[in-house]
């Protein structure tokens, strides 16, 4: 097992998919070196599967079936004054 990080696009609002090893454990989302990242504990030898995430801006309208489908994993603050705020969720 290892901890890997996966870069996320701060402009990719709404649902997006990352290919990750199956049975990975999502740890958190945050900003590192001005880039959004998701960290996970993975087995690098495990088959890859599509994992679904949701990126929401503060004040963004959320889908009707949002609660119960998505779990919060972190907030990413971008920009020199950290005024561009996104919230990252993983599919339940």
Convert the pLDDT of each residue in 39-81 to its tens digit. Answer: 999 999 999 999 999 999 999 999 888 989 999 999 999 888 8
> Which is nearest to 78 in space by CA: 91, 70, 88, 90?
88
Instruction: Say what percent of the chain tops pLDDT 90.
Output: 78
> Which is nearest to 91 in space by CA: 46, 42, 26, 30?
26
pLDDT at 64: 87
Res. 32: pLDDT tops 90: yes
Element (DSSP H or E) covering residue 24: none
pLDDT at 80: 81
Res. 36: pLDDT tops 90: yes
């Amino acid at each position: 097992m290892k901890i890997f990080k996966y870069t996320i696009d701060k402009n990719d609002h709404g649902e997006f998919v990352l290919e990750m090893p199956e049975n990975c454990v999502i740890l958190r989302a945050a900003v590192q070196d001005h880039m959004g990242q998701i960290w996970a504990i993975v087995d690098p030898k495990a088959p890859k599967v599509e994992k679904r995430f949701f990126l929401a801006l503060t004040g963004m309208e959320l889908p009707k079936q949002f609660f119960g489908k998505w779990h919060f994993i972190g907030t990413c603050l971008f920009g020199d004054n950290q005024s561009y705020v996104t919230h990252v969720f993983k599919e339940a």
